[in-house]
Structure 1
Amino acid sequence: MPVALIVLLLEISLIYHAARTGRLRPWAFIILLAPLIGSLAYIVVELVPEWLGSHDVQKARKRVANKLDPEKQYRELSDRLVITDTIANRAALAAECVEIGRFDEAEHHYDHILSLPMGHDAIYALGKAKAQFARKRPAEALATLDDLQRTWPDYNSAEAHLVYARALEGAGRTDEALEEYQALLDYAPGAEARVRYGMLLKLAGRLADARHVFNEFLIQMRRQPKHVRKAQAEWIAIAEKQIVG
């Protein structure tokens, strides 16, 4: 059998599989426009993870798929919302909007949810604040978070606290931001708050304090298990660069 015919049959089979599993876009175009290479990419990105079933492989597949078609999940969630307009579906779409940079739309969805009796919840106010901050409107994010604290005084969230500290920093309220970052160090999970605290100290000209924070953090990370260091690899790299720089 000629090689060209084998490649053609493979492409047809893969496009059929993509259509059956809801992956026709963008894979049909990739497979047709890049003969053989497109087919191999589909096998590696879509089929191999299914065969292996590994969590890490699935995550890698999702990263590649998102690069090829970053709005695939957005379209699926939008279609789901059209069919069933529930708080859960709208919140999922709002969170995806933040992920792909549709911040105006995300804020609109969160406002709609918060206007509903069953949607008046701190978690959605936090989502709105995150969208506002992502739109580079730190003052509005601060106002939303201040209102959240007044409305739900018992709501405690390290994530909300971190967004608040970052919004203070973005608004140029450096001393207040440093206080909030320092308060976060005692209970925030992960390394982001600590590294951001060191970075702001450095920006404020407190170089010795910043170096102390970074050194302490890196010493602590060296004592952690491999999986912890892997999870915090991005922040470890930033801290190392900040010390050198």
Structure 2
Amino acid sequence: MSPLILLSLALQIACCVHVVRTGRPLYWVFILLVFSFIAVIVYFIAEILPDLRHNPSARRTVRNVRNRIDPDRDRRDAAKLLKAADTPENRRRLAEESLRSGDYAHASELYEQALKGLYATDPDLMLGLAKAQFGLGASQKARATLDALIAANPSFRSADGHLLYARTVEDTGDATAAIHEYEAVVQGYPGEEARARFGLLLRRAGEDGRARNVFQEILDRSDAAPRYYRREQQDWIELAKRELAALAR
């Protein structure tokens, strides 16, 4: 049988399964089976594509694929916008894209330029600056920026910001204070990175029993979590497994 026919059959069957599982009108099954490739294309455009546009996970997947193909696209677009109109929003966007791409020096420069006037204590900009400073290895500066953020915006809450603060405290050599920060951040952090880093810190501090409990908690939480969560947290789950194995030796 021709590979093209096999591909057509596979796509038709996949679309028919999608029809049944998602509760689409069953007339789609007839259309898909009769009209082959054309029906598959029409079904994708009419039924699947709209869902992808409104599904955060699907959008994230599409964005990740696009970034792998052209990782600097968003950054170039942001640079063009800033060149056309030097506004605080456009400067923030380019700073975020520079941060995402690992150009911490440029991101730091842009955030510092943006933190003026009405935006001098903007918490999102200050957090971005702290991330850029930490990326440059300037943990003390990042900690000072986060301290200033907290002082200027006492009601501001950010799980990523809290984790970053714990990491800056850890990097500046204050293990006792870092443990205290991690104890707080793991309570509400949406993922396993904070726990994994906390466990590593406890191991370095010689608290192997507590570290073992933290790593085991990662595995227990992931076992009870949906598959997509385990997939997203795979790196931290694998780290917990390796650390538990090392602790058992």
TM-score range, shorter chain: 0.7 to 0.9
- Is 1:99 aligned with 2:100? yes
Partner SS, residue 188 of structure 1: coil
- The residue aligned with 2:113 is 112
Matches within 5 A, 1:1-150: 53=49, 54=52, 59-118=60-119, 120-150=121-151
After superposition, the Cα gap between the structure-2 partners of 1:244 and 1:130, relative to the gap in structure 1 and judged at 3 Å, is same
Q: Which amino acid aligns with 1:86?
A: T
1:165 and 1:215 map into 2 onto residues whose CA distance is: 21
> How far off its partner does 1:110 sit?
1.0
Structure ID, larger Rg: 2
2:191 and 2:160 map into 1 onto residues whose CA distance is: 11
- The residue aligned with 1:185 is 186
> How far off its partner does 1:199 sit?
1.1
> How far off its partner does 1:59 sit?
4.2
Count of equivalent residues: 196
Partner SS, residue 189 of structure 2: coil
> How far off its partner does 1:145 sit?
0.6
1:17-66 C-alpha deviation (Å, 9 max, x unpaired): xxxxxxxxxxxxxxxxxxxxxxxxxxxxxxxxx96644666544543443
Given that 1:113 and 1:120 are in contact with CA atoms closer than 8 Å, whether structure 2 keeps it comes out as no
2:148 and 2:119 map into 1 onto residues whose CA distance is: 18
Partner SS, residue 155 of structure 1: coil
Q: Please, what TM-score do these two structures have when normalized by structure 2? A: 0.72
For structure 1, list consecutive stretches of 5 or more residues without a partner in the other structure. Answer: 1-49
2:119 and 2:175 map into 1 onto residues whose CA distance is: 37
CA RMSD in angstroms comes to 2.1
2:230 and 2:64 map into 1 onto residues whose CA distance is: 21
Given that 2:121 and 2:152 are in contact with CA atoms closer than 8 Å, whether structure 1 keeps it comes out as no
For structure 2, list consecutive stretches of 5 or more residues without a partner in the other structure. Answer: 1-43
2:93 and 2:216 map into 1 onto residues whose CA distance is: 39
Q: Which amino acid aligns with 1:219?
A: D
- Is 1:234 aligned with 2:235? yes
Q: Please, what TM-score do these two structures have when normalized by structure 1? A: 0.73
2:175 and 2:129 map into 1 onto residues whose CA distance is: 23
Counting aligned pairs with the same residue, the percent is 35
Select between 122-131 and 145-154 the one with higher mean Cα deviation. 145-154
1:158 and 1:65 map into 2 onto residues whose CA distance is: 27
1:149 and 1:60 map into 2 onto residues whose CA distance is: 34
Moved segments of 4+, more than 3 Å: 50-65
1:140-196 C-alpha deviation (Å, 9 max, x unpaired): 000101111111122222221111001111222222111100111222222211111
> How far off its partner does 1:118 sit?
4.2
Given that 2:115 and 2:121 are in contact with CA atoms closer than 8 Å, whether structure 1 keeps it comes out as yes
